[in-house]
């Protein structure tokens, strides 16, 4: 038997106290990962931080950073090409320019929420007479599983399966933020999940080049508080290192097998991010050997899709940590989880959604 939050209360108290007595140079910490955002919002940490220390959410929520044209492509495929769309559930509610996949499903379109790529492959095996397109979203965390599914499809000749890829490479986006004059971040709380694949060493170049203390942290409340403590200690001593506060899951060089699969199936391309724009080498497209399983090659050649971001939505600024969600004029008024205007309110991991759900009473 357990409770909603299982961290040891005494340990939490100790860690929080150490954060609250911090006296050192101001630090703006970006938590890069959406799961961290949720956990931080849920425990109500932001209001307890000492003067000069702030936490901002970064581009770590997969559906949030995926640009609107991707959802328009998926909607086009479901409506015009009559394909079966298999997708992680939270992508279904993200607004495209005119509709959401959930609405397309309600119209009678074939849109299936799946939990894993295995489920998507099974859908293709069961529906041999239909084309099944899996929406490949997310960072190095999810991309290897999609790569694995593509290898399986190729080996077993599941030729009615394809992937519409919007997979993202994490590090170029973190660098783009550091180069953005509007972004004031000077420390990173690095993601736990993506780091399991990437390893903690990978942040070293960024940390030393830009002088940003970086700590990889786990997801439990005490693990997050520990990570923040380590960042504050670095800031106070003037040090800049990459530290691993999540050694039980994250190794120095990560999951090399997963990285190998990734490299074999995908190629790095310039990629458009919601909020961050086009970033060189920041996306994964299917490698040429897998063109047969690339939904863009298969269905979207020569198709022009015109997309328009929802008016007034400040997701672009939220995702860069330029403003906290509450500073968006639509936050909690016109935009809320029941009627989300932008992607950041849709996903359970989106900064706006997390801040709304766990807003201070």
Partner 1 sequence: MRELISELFIRNFSNPYLDKLNDFAAVTIDSGRIALSTDSFVVEPWSFPGGNLGDLAVCGTVNDISMSGATPLYLTCGFILPEGMPFDDLEEIVGAMARRAKESGVQIVTGDTKVVEPGAGPFINTAGVGAIPAGVTIGGEMAKPGDAVIVTGAVGSHGIAVLSKREGLTFSTDVISDCAPLNKIVASLINNGIIPRVLRDPTRGGVAGALNEIAAQSRVEIEIDDTKIPLEEGVRSACEMLGYDPLHIANEGCMLAIVAGEDEEKALKIIRGCKYGERAASIGTVAGGQPRVTARTLLGTKRLVDPPSGELLPRIC
CA atoms within 13 Å, Cβ hemisphere of 270? 4
Q: Which does 318 bind (CB under 5 to 8 A by kind): ligand SF4, partner 1, none?
A: ligand SF4
Q: Does 21 bind partner 1 (CB under 8 A)?
A: no
Residues 91-130 that bind ligand SF4 (CB under 6 A): none
Looking at beta carbons, which residue is closest to ligand SF4? 342
Shortest distance, position 73 Cβ to partner 1, whole Å = 17
User: Would you give the binding string for partner 1 spanning residues 47-76, x where CB under 8 A is met?
Assistant: xx-------------xx-------------
User: Would you give the binding string for ligand SF4 spanning residues 341-360, x where CB under 6 A is met?
Assistant: xx-xx------x--------
Shortest distance, position 304 Cβ to partner 1, whole Å = 27
- Please enumerate in sequence order all residues whose Cβ is within 8 A of that of 83, keeping only pairs 6 or more positions apart, or say none: 77, 110, 130, 131, 132, 133, 295, 299
Question: Quick one: angle between helices 143-155 and 256-265, nearest 10?
Answer: 60
Which pair of structure tokens corresponds to residue 306? 């015109």
Shortest distance, position 67 Cβ to ligand SF4, whole Å = 14
Q: Does 314 bind ligand SF4 (CB under 6 A)?
A: yes
User: Which has the closest alpha carbon to 356: 319, 330, 321, 317?
Assistant: 330
Q: Which does 230 bind (CB under 5 to 8 A by kind): ligand SF4, partner 1, none?
A: none
User: Would you give the binding string for partner 1 spanning residues 191-230, x where CB under 8 A is met?
Assistant: --x-------------------------x-x---------
∠ Cα 143 34 84 (to 5°): 45
- Strand order of the β-sheet with 266-273 is 167-168, 277-286, 266-273
Matching residue, tokens 């899951």: 249
Nearer to ligand SF4, 74 or 328 (CB): 328
**What are the Cα distances from residue 155, in Å, to 122, 267, 290?**
14, 19, 11
83 and 133 Cβ atoms separated by less than 8 Å: yes
Size of the site for ligand SF4 (CB under 6 A): 14
Q: Does 313 bind ligand SF4 (CB under 6 A)?
A: yes
- Please enumerate in sequence order all residues whose Cβ is within 8 A of that of 264, keeping only pairs 6 or more positions apart, or say none: 147, 151, 287
> Any idea what DSSP says for residue 83?
P
User: Which has the closest alpha carbon to 55: 208, 286, 228, 296?
Assistant: 228
Residues 317-346 that bind ligand SF4 (CB under 6 A): 318, 325, 328, 330-331, 335, 341-342, 344-345
Which pair of structure tokens corresponds to residue 128? 């041999």
Q: Which does 194 bind (CB under 5 to 8 A by kind): partner 1, ligand SF4, none?
A: none
42 and 305 Cβ atoms separated by less than 8 Å: no
One residue of 30, 32, 43, 53 binding partner 1 per CB under 8 A:
43
Dist. CA 136–CA 342, nearest whole Å? 20
Q: Does 38 bind ligand SF4 (CB under 6 A)?
A: no
**What are the Cα distances from residue 253, in Å, to 15, 171, 196, 250, 266?**
28, 14, 9, 8, 20
Task: Report residue 284 CA to chain centroid gap.
Answer: 14
Which pair of structure tokens corresponds to residue 227? 């990570």
Q: Does 33 bind partner 1 (CB under 8 A)?
A: no
Nearer to partner 1, 103 or 297 (CB): 103
Shortest distance, position 289 Cβ to partner 1, whole Å = 26
The Cβ of residue 78 has, within 10 Å, a number of other Cβ atoms equal to: 23
Residues that bind ligand SF4 (CB under 6 A): 313-315, 318, 325, 328, 330-331, 335, 341-342, 344-345, 352
Residues that bind partner 1 (CB under 8 A): 1-7, 9, 12, 16, 35, 38, 42-45, 47-48, 62-63, 86, 88-93, 112-116, 118-119, 122-123, 137-138, 141-142, 193, 219, 221, 336-338, 347-349, 356-361
């Amino acid at each position: 038997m357990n409770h909603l939050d299982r961290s040891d209360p005494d340990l939490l108290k100790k860690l929080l106290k150490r954060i609250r007595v911090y006296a050192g140079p101001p630090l703006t910490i970006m938590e890069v990962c959406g799961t961290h955002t949720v956990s931080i919002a849920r425990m109500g940490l932001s209001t307890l931080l000492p003067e000069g220390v702030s936490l901002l959410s970064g581009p770590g929520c997969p559906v949030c950073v995926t640009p609107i044209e991707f959802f328009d492509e998926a909607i086009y495929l479901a409506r015009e090409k009559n394909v079966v769309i298999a997708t992680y559930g939270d992508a279904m509610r993200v607004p495209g320019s005119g509709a959401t996949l959930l609405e397309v499903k309600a119209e009678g379109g074939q849109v299936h929420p799946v939990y894993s790529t295995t489920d998507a492959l099974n859908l293709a095996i069961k529906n041999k007479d239909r084309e099944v397109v899996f929406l490949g979203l997310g960072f190095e965390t999810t991309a290897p599983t999609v790569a694995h599914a593509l290898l399986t499809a190729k080996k077993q000749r599941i030729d009615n399966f394809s992937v519409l890829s919007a997979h993202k490479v994490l590090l170029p986006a973190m660098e783009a933020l550091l180069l953005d004059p509007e972004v004031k971040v000077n420390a990173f709380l690095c993601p736990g999940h993506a780091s399991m694949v990437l390893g903690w060493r990978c942040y070293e170049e960024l940390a030393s080049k830009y002088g940003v203390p970086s700590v990889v942290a786990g997801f439990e409340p005490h693990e997050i508080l520990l990570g923040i403590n380590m960042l504050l200690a670095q800031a106070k001593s003037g040090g800049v290192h990459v530290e691993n506060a999540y050694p039980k899951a994250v190794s120095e060089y990560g999951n090399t097998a997963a990285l190998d699969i990734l490299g074999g199936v995908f190629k790095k391309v310039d990629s458009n991010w919601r909020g961050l724009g086009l970033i060189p080498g920041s996306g994964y497209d299917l490698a040429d050997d897998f063109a047969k399983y690339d939904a863009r090659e298969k269905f979207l050649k020569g198709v022009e899709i015109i997309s328009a971001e929802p008016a007034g939505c400040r997701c672009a600024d939220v995702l860069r940590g330029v403003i906290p969600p509450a500073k968006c004029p639509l936050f909690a008024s016109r935009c809320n989880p029941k009627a989300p205007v932008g992607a950041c309110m849709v996903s359970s991991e989106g900064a706006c959604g997390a801040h709304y759900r766990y807003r201070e009473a």
